[in-house]
Amino acid sequence: MNNLYRAPEPDVLKPLLDRAATSPDSRSRIIGHASGLLADLRSAQSRGWVNQFLQEYRLNSSEGIALLSLAEAFLRVPDPETADLLIADKLGDADWRAHTGKSSSRLVNSATWGLVVGRVLVGEGEAGPLKRLMARAGEPFVRQAVGAAMKMMGEIFVMGRTIDEAMRRMKKPENKGFTASFDMLGEAARTFADADRYFRAYVGAIDAVGNDPAAGHSVSVKLSALHPRYEVARWNECVPALTGMLEALAVQAAGKGIALTVDAEESERLEMSLDIIGGVAALPSLKGWDGFGMAVQAYGKRARAVIAWADGLDRIMNVRLVKGAYWDSEIKRTQVEGLADYPLFTRKAATDVSYLAVAKDMLAARNIRPAFASHNALTVATILEWAGNSRDFEFQRLHGMGDGLYERLVRENGHHCRIYAPVGGHRDLLAYLVRRLLENGANSSFVHQLADARLTEDEILADPVAKIAGVGGSRHPSIPLPVDLFGAGHRNSGGIDLSDVNILARTVEVVNDTGLVRRAGAVANAPADAAGLVRDAVSRAHAAFPGWSATTVDDRAACLDRLADLLEQDRDRLMAICVQEAFKTIPDAIGEVREAADFCRYYAQQARMHLRAIELPGPTGERNMLHLDGRGVWATIAPWNFPLAIFLGQTVAALVTGNTVVAKPAPQTPLIAQAAVELAHRAGVPRDALVLVTGGPDVGAALTGDVRVAGVAFTGSTATAKRIARTLVEDDDRPIVPLIAETGGINAMIVDSTALPEQVVADVVASSFRSAGQRCSALRLLLVQEEVADTVIGMLAGAMDTLRIGDPGDPATDVGPVIDRASYDKLMAYRANPKGQTLKTLAVPAEGLFVPPTLIRLTAIEELDREWFGPILHVATWPAGKLTETIARVNAKGYGLTMGLHSRIARAAEVAEAEAAVGNLYINRSMIGAVVGSQPFGGEGLSGTGPKAGGPHYLYRFCAERAVSVDTTSAGGNATLLSLDEGGI
């Protein structure tokens, strides 16, 4: 099965095209049937809320986007001030008045009226009676009107706020003949308390549905709702736990005589899901119960193989085939992690082909009871054609969508259709369901096409097999493979797919192999004569400078490209050193090697583009050239927290610009530096052009104090950077040389009440505690709006309980040890007497330099006045409506490295962009993991000098600019003028 996971798309599609194909006669009958279904769908649009919303508010229009954005956030905002800001932000620019009274649906028109009212609130529209009414009624009335509109939208997708309400709604006339599969939540669990609450909700739902088994309803379960760390790295923990919980739910459902279906998850969880589902399916206690089932996503390349697996189980399995629910996030994850290929199809038509091929397999399977979830008339007609007179399967649709498609099939033709029905509070579920609407309302989807009057029936019912065959099954041209993400500029580094259990096992074996880490004692030990060592190193580099400087830019860039290739070839050894010497976790070790390779390729590309001599304009008879040349010997001084990526990034930037380098790693991490320098020499960098010196502060001081050093690139503490700066200017006989410094910061993340708490907490945990908090960009100060502080802090404390602290070579480890005893002692001393109240801390192993992840509550932002470089997070609150003032209070600390903002208000993002005095601002995402070439990294103020590493201006700082002007008239004038027709004698 795994051979399909990252296989090239055309290879996977080839057998699917054959399987999904239909004969001309069948195709003719299918089109005829689909045409009738289209007519039913269109006639039902007066009853179907979603169809009417899609008609009235197209998702590619400003009104459609505003509506969905407002619905996603409005109901969770508790304070009126932020609610008004959100209304103003989302409704202010949209023309809601143009939609009033146009829909045949009273509910759609009522919702539109609420939006019109909201637009008036934000100062738009004419100063007529409506605006005067708003002035008299006040803002609370307007918020109520918008809130009512949002709740109406919630009713489109939410079957009921409770399971009892949902079951009562299923008895309404519009649902006659249909059954339901009730889903009790939207978001995945972030804490063990969440998981326990969701488990109890499932138990309650099974109990309620089981009170009326004759109704034929069922319950759907998300495994990610039952464990907050449902991920491959935690296989040994979560698979047994989830198997036990799913067994309990299945036994309960079997006892009640109802069906239970396990929903599909992201592709990286597929193997775990199958292990859990297979374990429960084989239980003797469930023998004879045919209600167990699972969902399969047709957009996955392994979908057909999963069907074969399910058919091979020794029992009947109910299988619900869906198109897929995580397409965009799967694409992004694959690109970010630099994996070989996508786990899914990149064209909508390819997913349709896969769906049809898998559907045919399901109809032919011995042990599968098929369920086909679709809103596509062509898909439904094709399945009906293939099934013939059989009724031994069912269709499924989302609640609120597909009205008209199945009514005739169910009530007149005896087919079965089940409604997938979310249950829960609108406030909790709308964020999830809006994303589902976007998935099903994309331009290429059948639902969206149906609402587009410009499309003909032939276009809507076009054969997906013919579409894909016409492009040879190729990948979508707008979705490059991860390796080609940056186009012709530079090749993206390759990652490791840790969701593949076999690859994960091999990686764990590699990083723990002590034989790969050569214990070179001479390198690891501090030198006895630091001054002599440095003097000799600088002399070698100084002598090598003329030759290396004279090497062409293309040749120097080629060395960097070869070095990048060698880094990836030697990845196993480099990762092992990162884990064993620098205590990097496995994902961080992968990222370290990738970033180092990215620096090499990016700077090579930048050098080829920008280090050429430039001819400048001037008067006739004059030639003006600007050259960018090396300055001489550069000292590059690297930190221990990125001992390969930053060490090499600084170094290769100096080398490719024509400088020679004396490179000094941190005293804690000399082995990885030695390995990197050895590879650079193998790549073609002369041994005297790159010289490694190791040791502590005495070596660094001797290096920066050598007057032959023409520039310093340093990453480390602000105090050390200031000492280096003083050294470079205090000697009156020394030339003025550049200093590139990247230092730390008191990095803050600001969260307002529109933010999704689950997303905030995930990003806070990653930003604060990944790498044991030992990143320059790590989150140090979390600032939460007062009205939602208790919710966010409570969820954050629960998420901290899921962290695993331990051996960095264990894939389950989230937080490893800090780098050395000095760091440990400093952090532990502060934890014993913090500036604030300790809200949460965790137990850690007794042996090792493990600092417990800690959450400290401050009474004011100003209480945190220095950076604590470890897994310690401070939290404070800020008042609604004071975003600008809050940013100013953070700016006043003088640091300027990173800042984060979580908000659904676009204006808030604009304010942060305008006011935040930081080098890197991250909005609605984590604050770590800057990507070379995409997110240039570096700070200002107390956080660094710039230019930004991995950015288009970085190389210039390493260069000397030299202008040459030649008077050509002295050699006979400008001969080109003689060819001109004008003038002359």
Would you name the residues annotated as active-site residues? 742, 776
- The DSSP result for 738-805, as a single string, is -EEEE-----EEEE-TTS-HHHHHHHHHHHHHGGGG-STT---EEEEEGGGHHHHHHHHHHHHTT--B
Count of C-beta atoms within a 10 Å radius of residue 788: 23
- 596 near 567, Cβ under 8 Å? yes
| CA–CA separation, 6 and 633 (whole Å) | 46
Dmax over CA atoms of the chain, in Å, equals: 110
The single-letter code of the amino acid at 289 is: W
Phi, psi (degrees; rounded to nearest 5) at 566? -65, -35
| CA–CA separation, 224 and 262 (whole Å) | 10
Give, in order, the Cα–Cα distances in Å from 485 to each of 36, 562, 567, 931, 951. 44, 20, 19, 12, 16
| CA–CA separation, 5 and 343 (whole Å) | 5
β pairing state of 622-630 and 959-967: antiparallel
Look up residue 937 and give its DSSP letter.
B
Q: Which two tokens stand for residue 560?
A: 């960097």
Q: Could you tell me which of 396, 379, 398, 380 has the C-alpha nearest to residue 436?
A: 398
- 583 near 805, Cβ under 8 Å? no
| CA–CA separation, 342 and 481 (whole Å) | 8
| CA–CA separation, 90 and 82 (whole Å) | 12
- Radius of gyration over every alpha carbon of the chain, rounded to an integer in angstroms: 32
Residues in the chain: 985
Sign of CA dihedral 473, 474, 476, 482: positive
- 301 near 4, Cβ under 8 Å? yes
Question: At a CB cut-off of 8 Å and minimum separation 6, what does 928 contact?
Answer: 766, 767, 770, 771, 775, 777, 778
Sign of CA dihedral 875, 876, 878, 884: negative
Give the helix/strand (H/E) hosting 64.
helix 62-73
Helix (H, G, I), strand (E, B) or coil at 180: strand
- 75 near 147, Cβ under 8 Å? yes
